[in-house]
Structure 1
Amino acid sequence: MVASAHEDAAASFDPLRPKLIRVAYRMLGSVADAEDMVQEAFIRWMGADRAAVREPEAFLRRTVTRLCLDQLKSARRQRETYVGPWLPDPVVEEEEEEDVTLPLMLALERLSPLERAAFLLHDVFGLSFEEVAATIQRDAAACRQLAARARSHVREARPRFRVEKERGLELAEAFFTASRSGDMKTLGAMLAADVSVHADGGGKRPAANRPIIGFDAVMKMHEGLARLFQANGSKLLRIGFVNGLPGFVTLEADGEIQTTALDIEHGQVTAIYVVRNPDKLRHLH
């Protein structure tokens, strides 16, 4: 009887799992935490009166969102003591993500949990404000205000210059080759004047404790890194889209992997995002 109930719950839940993880990841920026929230939702789904639920997807999305809102409170406390810049866990895909790129996810970090939920559910996932209201337990008018405030905060983080897919991947591969070979002339031609580097080592691996900003500073950093790469090696594992941006995955000299994502405007790299914290890379192994 118990096994049958478990199979019944799983049969209705499993097709929705990818969508639910998508919601949770965009709320939290952590793959492991997103999977935990979705698994907790499954446990609650097993204990629910499923016959009384008319729309399982809406019910489960509400459950996951509320779990994420609770999780965000503790996550914010953890971020206050985080070593160096914080970046979301990298998700590497073959295709470009249209809805939430890495800069937008960083902008979402500046929102309150409710603003974040209202914006994602309405602007990204296309729910009506009535559905958003039912999910976050506020009235529809309040949800409109939350989403409007969020929109004004994140507007600048929306991608304004779409890079054609193949061109983006070509630029990512060229960046890898130039940065690892020490071809500073080619690398310099790819960088915007106000380029910045954001490296997340989480205190677990060497990384700059604050963003490096400006062409000269970034070039100086890469000159030093190129000597290390040439002496110790850096192996390209995959070219793809990292949180919606052209980028690549590499195996570094310490035996750990890292991801690099490039924000590109007008054919030049305006920001470089590097994740080195091994806790954020486990799901990529």
Structure 2
Amino acid sequence: MSRIISSLAEISAGYDALFCDLWGCLHNGRQPFPAAVAALQAFRAKGGRVCLMTNAPRPNRFVIAQLDRMGVPRDAWDLVVSSGDAAQEAMFAGAVGRKVWHIGLEKDEGFFADIPEGAEPVRRVPLEEAEGIVASGPFDEINETPEDYRDRFEAAIARGLPMLCANPDIVVDMGETRIYCAGALAQFYETLGGTALYFGKPHVPIYDRARRLMGLGPDARCLAVGDGILTDIAGAEAQGIDSLFVTGGLAADAFGADVEAPEEALLHPWLMAEGRTPTWVIGRLR
């Protein structure tokens, strides 16, 4: 049974490295959570290493720039690994062809413009000319839903176009606003009969990349921290590593009135219904 804790410090001595989610754990899309920042700083001060692992559909240097703008101090982490890193590597290797229809916003421009050395460029074209699809998020993340893409997706599926999903998250909270992510588009594409390729959490490539870049050996004691039961916690379980479920993120409304203190009577039935057993549970990372 998952155990509720009140601070990362209660368990941190048992781990060498953290794979820590961003949205809902370290920040809310607009500003960092001071207690979460302090918890990561304390973990590193005692010799631990922190990998910020995010399903953001951009190469990590763009994620780092965003963290800097938010005011997340650099002594709270060692490196950033994004879904965009792993998905970009696959795209430039030709996973969905050399001519792609891109679904996403201008903020995801770096996914295409930041070309790795020696890689052959990928050209963005209209859907009618595409060999595949790259989804980094809706065109209008505030107002659109996956259903808005039904006609275009059905046309793409009829032509056998695969979709590369640069961000497997279904939804995130930007401040008080919940928005759809590329994962929701890819999930809908699959329900219509299409094929989608994933590279972020909970899928293997992002974890392999993080371990490689951190130089973690097979005996490293790792803890995955996140508020996504289908991404952070499912990914940790698939990797065979411990997890810390942050209830005060995406699912905050399910565990009682106090976001800092999830109610045990509500928590365990909810986890059972989700089919997940995180090692630890905390209201907010602190």
TM-score interval (norm. to shorter): under 0.3
Give the TM-score normalised by structure 1: 0.26
Give TM-score scaled by structure 2 length: 0.25
Specify the structure having the higher radius of gyration (Cα). Answer: 1
Higher share in helix? 1
Q: Which structure exhibits the higher relative contact order, with contacts defined as CA atoms closer than 8 Å and separated by 6 or more residues?
A: 2
